[in-house]
Amino acid sequence: MAVDHNKKDMDIDNKGEEEQKGKPVMVILVGAPGSGKSTFCERVMGSSLRPWTRICQDTINNGKAGTKPQCLKRAAAALKEGKSVFIDRCNLDKEQRSDFVKLGCGAQVDAHAVVLDLPAKLCISRSIKRTGHEGNLQGGKAAAVVNRMLQKKELPKLNEGFARIVFCHNENDVEATITAYTALGPLDTLSNGCFGQKNPDAKIQLGIMKFLKKVEAPFQCAASKEVKESENLAKGSVDADVSVDEITTLAFPSISTADFQFNNETASDIIVEKVEEFVNKLKNARLVLVDLRGLRCNVIANAANWRLKPGGGGVNAAIFTAAGLALETATKERANSLLPGHAVVVPLPSDSPLYTREGVSHVIHVLGPNMNPQRPNSLNNDYNKGCSILREAYTSLFTGFLSILRSRSKLPRRISEKLALTPLDLKDPSLDPRNHLTNSDQKIKRDDGCVYERSKKCKGANDETVADISAPSSTYGKVTGDKSKLEGPTSKTWGSWAQALYHIAMHPEKHKAELLEVLDDVLVLNDLYPKACKHLLVLARHEGLDGLADVHQEHLQLLMTMHAVGLKWAEKLLHEDSSMVFRLGYHLAPSMRQLHLHVISQDFNSNHLKNKKHWNSFNTAFFRDSVDVIEEIKNHGKATIKDEDFQLSMELRCHRCRSAHPNIPRLKSHISICQAPFPHALLENGHLVLALKT
């Protein structure tokens, strides 16, 4: 310990000289918001024998935040009165400090610096907590501000005019320094010099690498380390963990500043600007710029490369490694490449280690501008373009996060439970307040290894485990026995308006005028509210098939018939207009009862396409391509019915170029002119039906 507060000998040595006239000191505190500056002052002033004045910029203006000149004026007055002063403001760069140091010289007073160089994580946690609304918007903002400040920090040096500088890197250092200043009587002095400094030019490490590293280690170790680390937090680790589970948290790295060599300061400004723009929309969620080991989050932003492939830069490689092959596969399903300024939300499959161990539910890949001439598509220092792309990148990122939040608020409770079911919770379930409500539920699941039927109120919430009803026969019998006529095989309650297709399928003879084709197993008709120029339905005639959830191995032939008939009609329509492109598929959770295959042209030019749900039901994972469903039934005997309801409220993206658009009218005007080729995932494996080139 370099702090020399116990060197009584020295104090005694100096006493003779100093006894004549006690000399005030000016202590300039240096530290980010949340580093503990005010606490430091209060602790010293609480039991010091020396007269102190604390000059706090946050409260100098009648309890409100004031200016630097106000602080200087007040400090000068206090020193003149012979009081020692604390300068309680961040003072993180030389320029901010210099006027105060000069003040000290003018007043013949020694200037000291006490640097509270504590881990960013600690500062941010405290600074979030201080707002009184932990985890809310203020929190996100505070995190970004603290991070920016720490990026810009400039540690004090003796040559700035300080007589004494003490660096505190942890709570023990802080305690020792508080003791030293508390013990500093009116006539005492502390020795001059620089104490406790370690690797002077070290920059704050902006790395998600460390944050993710614990994924590789056994979780218990990581968890206990985390607890140990956060013991120093005033609030304690228990609260911190609980709150993280309850607050949807996006951890994001600084985009483009590493490999892509974007100027750090400009990038920080853009981060703050964009975070400020979005915090108000986030309501009960949190944004955290990552430099935070042990912080648990539900959504991670990845500073991706344009190919959306693993490898390359540190953050990208780390995330792909931690999330396993599942992330690669899931990413490929959504996009094959990314344009600078864009982002793509990828829900993590439930078998990804990042999901099972860390509860991370989504990765948002985001691509920033490239300023690195060593890499392809460098912007050659064009910061006009660079800044605008970087802004777009953050906008896309936060918009994506927002879409996750919106969908999450609609998810049934069961899903959020699943997200929260991390090993830490299992270790001590009492730490989690939700467990008072849900513990018994979870016990049942674990004890008998089967999953009960979902609540009928959870509309469309058939996740894969739930759809697979393996409940005891009594439960099953009750459901089937008491079923009303409005209920289908999956026990979803269908409103009267949702029965139209079912009635047609059961009584085609009453609907002759509406039918394009009548076959033994299927009917073909125009969708009553087409969402594109051409939009047909191939309707199964079998009773008991309400949607994909009811489809099993035995229906494989039917699915193939439906596909063949759909294909036939698509080709027929292509013959009339060869510029059309068709896609064939099912809605994961259809609104209308009775299994039906959509055959829809990809122009989406229709007045009936009016809202986000319409668009997303045909352009996200909510739309299951017929060819994929058939493959799945072949291989697994049933279709995966994941909870893809959130897809319906996802941001609006062009199905061709994947650009994001703020609302339906803007999206529609874009798709009316977008000529970009379709994404590879659609062009491959017969997902799209196009005219043969002749």
**Active-site amino acid positions:** 596
Whether the CB-CB separation of 298 and 128 falls below 8 Å is answered with no
Nearer to DNA, 310 or 412 (CB): 412
Q: Least distance (Å) from DNA to the CB of residue 367? A: 23
Task: Give the burial class of 471: count Cβ atoms within 10 A of its Cβ; 0-12 exposed, 13-18 middle, 19 or more buried.
Answer: middle
Single out the residue of 212, 220, 218, 213 nearest to residue 426, CA to CA.
220
Task: Give the burial class of 62: count Cβ atoms within 10 A of its Cβ; 0-12 exposed, 13-18 middle, 19 or more buried.
Answer: exposed
Residue whose tokens read 């104090």: 11
Nearer to DNA, 108 or 497 (CB): 497
Whether the CB-CB separation of 302 and 316 falls below 8 Å is answered with yes
614 binds DNA (CB under 7 A): yes
Q: Least distance (Å) from DNA to the CB of residue 574? A: 23
Nearer to DNA, 378 or 591 (CB): 591
**Candidate residues 130, 568, 610, 656; the one interacting with DNA per rule CB under 7 A:** 610
| Structure token digits, residue 602 | 């990809």
671 binds DNA (CB under 7 A): no
611 binds DNA (CB under 7 A): yes
Look at the alpha carbons of 122, 128, 129, 134 in this order and tell me if their dihedral is positive or negative: negative
**Candidate residues 140, 324, 590, 679; the one interacting with DNA per rule CB under 7 A:** 590
Task: Give the burial class of 472: count Cβ atoms within 10 A of its Cβ; 0-12 exposed, 13-18 middle, 19 or more buried.
Answer: exposed
Task: Candidates 37-45, 65-73, 344-352, 588-596: pick the segment binding DNA (CB under 7 A).
Answer: 588-596
Nearer to DNA, 406 or 542 (CB): 406
Task: Candidates 247-255, 376-384, 437-445, 606-614: pick the segment binding DNA (CB under 7 A).
Answer: 606-614
Contacts for 440 with CB less than 8 Å, ≥ 6 apart: none
* DSSP 8-state secondary structure symbol assigned to residue 453: P
Task: Candidates 102-110, 155-163, 470-478, 494-502: pick the segment binding DNA (CB under 7 A).
Answer: 494-502
591 binds DNA (CB under 7 A): yes
Contacts for 462 with CB less than 8 Å, ≥ 6 apart: 454, 490, 549, 589, 641, 643
Looking at residues 344 to 383 of the shown chain, list those that interact with DNA (rule: CB under 7 A). none
DSSP readout, 466-489?
HHS----HHHHHHHHHH--TTB-T
Nearer to DNA, 102 or 612 (CB): 612
617 binds DNA (CB under 7 A): yes
**Candidate residues 592, 595, 650, 654; the one interacting with DNA per rule CB under 7 A:** 592
**What phi and psi, each to the nearest 5 degrees, are found at residue 570?**
-60, -45
Residues 236 and 90: their CA atoms lie apart, in Å, by 25
Q: Least distance (Å) from DNA to the CB of residue 392? A: 15
Nearer to DNA, 666 or 680 (CB): 666
526 binds DNA (CB under 7 A): no
Q: Least distance (Å) from DNA to the CB of residue 158? A: 51
**Candidate residues 236, 495, 544, 637; the one interacting with DNA per rule CB under 7 A:** 495
Binding characters for DNA, 629-658, by CB under 7 A (x = yes): --------------------x---------
The 10 Å Cβ neighbour count of residue 259 is 19
Task: Candidates 190-198, 255-263, 359-367, 611-619: pick the segment binding DNA (CB under 7 A).
Answer: 611-619
Total interface residues for DNA by CB under 7 A: 23
Whether the CB-CB separation of 185 and 52 falls below 8 Å is answered with no
**What phi and psi, each to the nearest 5 degrees, are found at residue 114?**
-115, 115
498 binds DNA (CB under 7 A): yes
Binding characters for DNA, 271-310, by CB under 7 A (x = yes): ----------x-----------------------------
Whether the CB-CB separation of 570 and 689 falls below 8 Å is answered with yes
685 binds DNA (CB under 7 A): no
Nearer to DNA, 542 or 610 (CB): 610
DSSP readout, 550-609?
G-BGGGHHHHHHHHHHHHHHHHHHHHH-TT-EEEEEEESS-SSSS-EEEEEETT---TT-
Task: Candidates 85-93, 105-113, 340-348, 607-615: pick the segment binding DNA (CB under 7 A).
Answer: 607-615
Task: Candidates 33-41, 122-130, 479-487, 491-499: pick the segment binding DNA (CB under 7 A).
Answer: 491-499
- Cα angle: 229, vertex 235, 238; to 5 degrees: 70
**Candidate residues 23, 309, 391, 612; the one interacting with DNA per rule CB under 7 A:** 612
Q: Are strands 299-303 and 248-252 parallel, antiparallel or unpaired?
A: parallel
Give how far Cα 599 sits from Cα of 473, 497, 579, 584, 654, Å: 39, 22, 16, 5, 19
Nearer to DNA, 193 or 665 (CB): 665
587 binds DNA (CB under 7 A): yes
670 binds DNA (CB under 7 A): no
Look at the alpha carbons of 491, 497, 500, 506 in this order and tell me if their dihedral is positive or negative: positive
Looking at residues 45 to 74 of the shown chain, list those that interact with DNA (rule: CB under 7 A). none
Task: Candidates 13-21, 355-363, 423-431, 495-503: pick the segment binding DNA (CB under 7 A).
Answer: 495-503
Nearer to DNA, 368 or 590 (CB): 590
DSSP readout, 603-670?
T---TT--SHHHHHHHHSTTEEEHHHHHHHHHHHSB------GGGGGSPEE-TTT--EESSHHHHHHH
243 binds DNA (CB under 7 A): no
529 binds DNA (CB under 7 A): yes
**Candidate residues 475, 663, 672, 685; the one interacting with DNA per rule CB under 7 A:** 663
Alpha helices (H) in 158-313, listed in sequence order: 171-182, 208-213, 219-230, 237-246, 264-282
Nearer to DNA, 125 or 616 (CB): 616
Task: Give the burial class of 263: count Cβ atoms within 10 A of its Cβ; 0-12 exposed, 13-18 middle, 19 or more buried.
Answer: middle
Give how far Cα 610 sits from Cα of 454, 576, 605, 665, Å: 31, 27, 11, 8
406 binds DNA (CB under 7 A): yes
Nearer to DNA, 375 or 661 (CB): 661
Task: Candidates 384-392, 449-457, 664-672, 684-692: pick the segment binding DNA (CB under 7 A).
Answer: 664-672
Single out the residue of 124, 405, 127, 128 nearest to residue 278, CA to CA.
405
Please give the residue ranges that form the binding site for DNA (CB under 7 A).
Answer: 281, 406, 495, 497-498, 528-529, 587, 590-592, 608, 610-612, 614, 617, 649, 662-666
